[in-house]
Amino acid sequence: MTERLPAAALGAERLGERATLVQFSSAFCQPCRATRRILREVSGMVDGVEHIEIDAEGRLELVRRLGIERTPTVLVLDADGRIVRRAAGQPRRADVIAALGHAVA
């Protein structure tokens, strides 16, 4: 069974009703800024989807537990907080939308 990530573990008030886009970033990461823009845009387009950004340097225990090796890394969670997709590097908008399809199916 896949590990569930509750909102509290991510430092958020709530997960999305349908899916959650979790972004691990670092302060001087240029691709992280573009990723933030893409994820905010997509989460704004799709009802029930939330975007949560996590400072990787400030949450090292969580980063190690999840095996995050670089920023940006994006996790796509389903409504129950299970990881259904994972990608490192700056994603394309089309890829994020496709990954959401797996989360809300």
Q: What is the CATH number of the domain that holds 12?
A: 3.40.30.10
Banded pLDDT at 104 (limits 50, 70, 90): confident
* C-alpha–C-alpha distance, residues 70 and 80, integer Å: 25
Q: Which two tokens stand for residue 21?
A: 């886009």
1 part of a folded domain: no
Whole-model pTM: value is: 0.94
Strand order in the sheet with 19-25: 49-55, 19-25, 73-78, 83-88
Domain that holds residue 74: 7-104
93 part of a folded domain: yes
2 part of a folded domain: no
32 part of a folded domain: yes
Q: Are strands 73-78 and 83-88 parallel, antiparallel or unpaired?
A: antiparallel
Q: What single-letter DSSP state applies at residue 29?
A: -
83 part of a folded domain: yes
Query: What's the whole-number mean pLDDT along residues 79-95?
Result: 95
Question: What distance lies between CA 80 and its chain's CA centroid?
Answer: 14
Number of domains in the chain: 1
Q: What is the pLDDT of residues 32-86, one digit of tens each?
A: 999 999 999 999 999 999 999 999 999 999 999 999 999 999 999 999 999 999 9
